[in-house]
Amino acid sequence: MFRNAAAVSLQLVGSLQGRKAGASVTRCLHQTVSALTLHSAHGRPQRTMAKRLQARRLDGIDDNPWVEYSRLVTEYDVVNLGQGFPDFPPPDFAVEAFQHAVSGDFMLNQYTRAFGYPPLTKILASFFGKLLGQEIDPLSNVLVTVGAYGALFTTFQALVDKGDEVIIIEPYFDCYEPMTLMAGGRPVFVTLRPSPPEDGKLESSGDWRLDPTELASKFSPRTKVLILNTPNNPLGKVYSRAELELVAGLCQQHDVVCVTDEVYQWLVFDGHQHISIASLPGMWDRTLTIGSAGKTFSTTGWKVGWVLGPDRLMKHLRTVHQNSIYHCPTQAQAAVAQSLEREQQHFGRPSSYFVQFPQAIQRCRDHMMRSLQSAGLRPVVPQGGYFLVTDISDFKNRMPNLPGDGDEPFDRRFVKWMIKNKGLAAIPVSVFISAPHQKNFDHYIRFCFVKDEATLQAMDKRLQKWKEELRA
């Protein structure tokens, strides 16, 4: 729709002028446009500085592999199964709640309480209080953030100090590592390893397990935080009660805070059950539970997230929040509050989105698995979440010399080749693995299956063509 930032500003100026916007707003937007024009006419920033510009906390984290895949996706004609967002509409009740927030009470256009719009913190407290079996106070045990990303960043900044160790279970949602580093912490990795499936069965994300002895060996007197993600991105692993008890026991034994990223909690398949580690005995007091309205209601653009936890931890998150973001968008919070209130009324019933959504998405998962298998790819069946990981070792054996930079892991070269030659975009799993271990996990790629039927059919066509080429 808009080609560049200048066009966006011009469009905004136009529409604001049409509505008799205040002169100062219009002037400010005009300034944006002329500054851009000046900048692009010279083709470089006007002033240069001899001083080092970037803060040292950015050292080692400025190389982000996502940038390259995002660029390739725009350059080639691809079916984009890389990034994790639904390409279908959110449920009607959520859209209506947002419309109501925008067109109803005009005060929703203004700042709200810094730590969360009160009706939202109230419903989060009552909804999750029941699920976690915990009395949750909306004022001291809930913080609303800009997405789960914001929740994670606030948490790391609040808890991790220079030299503190953070245990990260790999493969991991990739921002955990840079967020640890930016806070001055030291990531300590422990690996989920696959065990072979039973004869004739597809591998499952449940076959990827932690070795209890290895996990225990990662705890030290410097360990401050362990970060858990269930259902996990990228594997779709849903941790069992026994696995959570193992993690909980070690956190208690070593006096460690457990940060648990549960953004995909409603998406569990095949009768698996999501269990929040905060609900285990003795864990509420040392756990921060992170959620996302984006993943909950298929509204990733709203960027509403939250953290739940005991006040002794939350008060430090509030300090970071009030000195960084301070207020989150009010209308989006109001829409999430109303949607959660709706879900509370329908909870556990067939009419609930939290019942219907996983059923619909399991069908998408099964569709994608069948299709990938037909082209010789070997999916690892995810127990939950947005993604499935596919084993590409057969391709690694058949075409080990795909073009790429020097030591570039095979999965990264494969994804680039697939985007350019097969018109399908995925994400290499090595981006979710710590650098020293990437070579051991360079034969997996990640697809997002939370996609519309039309997208999945477009994928089928490309895979069908690929299959015919393989036969030829």
Ligand X SMILES: Cc1ncc(COP(=O)(O)O)c(C=O)c1O
Binding mask 212-241 for ligand X (x = CB under 6 A): -----------------x---x--------
Complex with ligand X: residue 174 or 366, whichever CB lies closer: 174
**260 lies in the site for ligand X, by CB under 6 A:** no
Q: Specify the long-range contacts of residues 319-322, CB closer than 8 Å, at least 24 apart.
A: 319/158, 320/154, 320/157, 320/158, 321/114, 321/115, 321/143, 321/145, 321/154, 322/114, 322/115
* Phi, then psi, of 189 in degrees rounded to 5: -100, 145
**180 lies in the site for ligand X, by CB under 6 A:** no
How many residues belong to the site for ligand X (CB under 6 A)? 13
**148 lies in the site for ligand X, by CB under 6 A:** yes
**173 lies in the site for ligand X, by CB under 6 A:** yes
SS3 17: helix
Contact assessment for residue 192 and residue 169, using Cβ atoms and an 8 Å cutoff: yes
**292 lies in the site for ligand X, by CB under 6 A:** yes
Interacting residue with ligand X among 29, 78, 84, 204 (CB under 6 A)? 84
Q: How far apart are CA 329 and CA 336, in angstroms?
A: 11
**265 lies in the site for ligand X, by CB under 6 A:** no
Complex with ligand X: residue 13 or 336, whichever CB lies closer: 336
**143 lies in the site for ligand X, by CB under 6 A:** no
Interacting residue with ligand X among 69, 117, 128, 149 (CB under 6 A)? 149
**294 lies in the site for ligand X, by CB under 6 A:** yes
Contact assessment for residue 202 and residue 379, using Cβ atoms and an 8 Å cutoff: yes
Q: How far apart are CA 110 and CA 298, in angstroms?
A: 25
Complex with ligand X: residue 150 or 410, whichever CB lies closer: 150
What DSSP string describes 157-198? Answer: HHH--TT-EEEEEES--TTHHHHHHHTT-EEEEEE-EE-PPS
Complex with ligand X: residue 9 or 330, whichever CB lies closer: 330
Complex with ligand X: residue 149 or 466, whichever CB lies closer: 149
Q: How far apart are CA 81 and CA 61, in angstroms?
A: 25
CA distances from residue 318 to 76, 158, 306, 315 in whole angstroms, order as listed:
44, 8, 12, 5
* Location of structure tokens 């994608």: 368
Interacting residue with ligand X among 305, 309, 379, 428 (CB under 6 A)? 305
Interacting residue with ligand X among 261, 343, 391, 411 (CB under 6 A)? 261
Question: Residue type at 47?
Answer: R
Measure the CA dihedral 15/18/20/24, to 10°: 40
Q: How far apart are CA 338 and CA 93, in angstroms?
A: 9
304-308 vs 142-146, strand pairing mode: antiparallel
Complex with ligand X: residue 86 or 185, whichever CB lies closer: 86
Complex with ligand X: residue 153 or 395, whichever CB lies closer: 153
Residues 351-380 that bind ligand X (CB under 6 A): none
In the complex, the smallest distance separating the C-beta of residue 279 from ligand X, rounded to whole angstroms, is 19
Tokens of 161: 């100090």
Binding mask 377-416 for ligand X (x = CB under 6 A): ----------------------------------------
Complex with ligand X: residue 115 or 387, whichever CB lies closer: 387
In the complex, the smallest distance separating the C-beta of residue 147 from ligand X, rounded to whole angstroms, is 3
List of residues contacting ligand X (CB under 6 A) = 84, 147-149, 173, 229, 233, 261, 263, 292, 294, 300, 305
